[in-house]
Amino acid sequence: MAEMLETGAPEPRALAVESNGLNVIDDAERRGRPSQLFWPWFGANVSVLGLSYGAFALGFGISFWQAVVAGLVGIVFSFLLCGLVALAGKRGSAPTMVLSRAAFGVRGNKLPSLVSWLLTVGWETVLTILATLATATVFERLGWGGGTVTKVVALAVVGSLIVACGVLGFDLIMRMQTIITVVTGVLTVVYIALVADQVSWSTVSALPGGSGQQLIGALIFLMTGFGLGWVNAAADYSRYLPRTASSRGVVGWTTFGSSVAPIVLLIFGLLLAGSSTDLSAAIAADPIGALAQSLPTWFLVPFVIVAVLGLVGGAVLDIYSSGLALLSLGVPVPRYVAAFVDGLVMIAGTVYVVFFGDEFLGEFQGFLITLGVPVAAWCGIMLADVASRRRDYADPELFDRRGRYGDVRWLPIGIMLVATGIGWGLVTNGSADWLTWQGYLLEPLGLGGKEGAWAFANLGVLVALVGSFLVQLLAGRRTVERQESQPSRPARAKVS
């Protein structure tokens, strides 16, 4: 990764299973400039899936211009959170979920590590589902089949590729990422050019406006689908920068690099989905495959190959991060074993949704909002902790439960649990049967209950984010001051 920040691509290395786990980057290896953060963040967020978010946003019953506002605010604000968390990487030299130990304690951080593991495993499963469904859809259009057998073969190929790359490790992943990013970007431009004539501005502009609650719901959904899905890994890139790098540069380039592609893709997706109710309905069931319905036959094979590769590229990064999250939970296995275990979980989840689950969009929304609440709570605590610090982290003590950061910090743990409980009481997921228990606070707080106007506004995510930030900022400041007043000490035995 250090080579990628410095030159734009990692230096060639032999293909071998990476044995590193929760590594700390030595100061001598930290180099580069904040502007170089643009490329990894841009590459991680260029995907034709961004087009489908246009249909997701309009599904809240809002107009085109309301959806544009929701997209601009939701995308930029959520990636700004990533930029602010990335400051911890510049101040320290460890992955995001290791730096989080400064707030939660070395072993107390197992709670957010568990949430991070669930989020990354969930995302890699979502991307595998999309790749499987897209392959089946395109094959059916070509007359090559598209039923159960095609889905099984597609899942086997895609799943094997993701697991293999996750096991081999980070160097191979980043070597693949550069190629996938360029090809995916070119494909997206070609796709837009081919389907641009299907946009009907008169139809799009005639879409009726929705209520303020519907607008808020779409905004928060886009936040959880974009930036909040990355905050738990936001410092993993910036940790390779020198400590003297510009803080404003770290925040600015992270936010800009992450936001620019999703904004363009979302706006065109809004125009496309707003022009056709049939396309919007199809995207709800198969977000990637539905985008191929209007393509000429000659472009279908390139579309499915590069679209699937883009999804695989994202899933590979997730399986690597989920393996690290599993290690941070204290599971005593090598990194490649953790990645393999996560791969098995990913395949099992894909089998359930593709062959036994309900409509994809309902399950997807349920996943994003449900995990979005505890992730938002953790993010608020992490941001408050970063804002309270004036000195760099004492890196060795992040692995020492007898060091300044302690073993278990009960205040942030309690804040995260309470904020999550309140947040889940203020969100609903009517399309996912297994989440009907949520929204239990909407009626007692006079918000109309689970069928009222606020039912799908997803207020719980914002409440968890803002509430946890304010409480941690006010109640945790003295703890940070005590930590930073302690002199540096020799590292004890590491406790990962």
Q: Which domains does the chain have, with CATH numbers?
A: 33-484 (1.10.4160.10)
Report the pLDDT value the prediction gives residue 14, as an integer from 0 to 100: 43
- Categorise residue 359: left if φ over 0, alpha if ψ from -120 to 50, beta otherwise: beta
Intervals of the chain under pLDDT 50? 1-12, 14, 491-496
Separation CA 291–CA 48 (nearest Å): 9
Separation CA 75–CA 68 (nearest Å): 10
Q: 303: closest CA among 150, 187, 196?
A: 187
Counting Cβ atoms within 10 Å, is residue 16 exposed (0-12), middle (13-18) or buried (19+)?
exposed
Separation CA 123–CA 7 (nearest Å): 29
Separation CA 105–CA 101 (nearest Å): 5
Separation CA 121–CA 455 (nearest Å): 28
Report the pLDDT value the prediction gives residue 253, as an integer from 0 to 100: 93
Q: 261: closest CA among 319, 161, 309, 192?
A: 192
SS (H, E, C) 176-242: HHHHHHHHHHHHHHHHHHHHHHHCCHHHHHCCCCCCHHHHHHHHHHHHHHCHHHCHHHCHHHHCCCC
Report the pLDDT value the prediction gives residue 8, as an integer from 0 to 100: 42
Report the pLDDT value the prediction gives residue 333, as an integer from 0 to 100: 82
Distant-in-sequence, close-in-space partners of 292: CB < 8 Å, separation ≥ 6? 134, 137, 138, 141, 300, 303, 304, 307
Report the pLDDT value the prediction gives residue 359, as an integer from 0 to 100: 63
Report the pLDDT value the prediction gives residue 175, as an integer from 0 to 100: 67
Q: Are the C-beta atoms of residues 288 and 309 closer than 8 Å to each other?
A: no
Separation CA 91–CA 297 (nearest Å): 51
Report the pLDDT value the prediction gives residue 189, as an integer from 0 to 100: 85
**How far lies 73's CA from each of 49, 61, 68, 216, 462, in Å?**
19, 18, 9, 10, 13
Q: 353: closest CA among 36, 191, 126?
A: 126
Task: State the pTM of this model.
Answer: 0.86
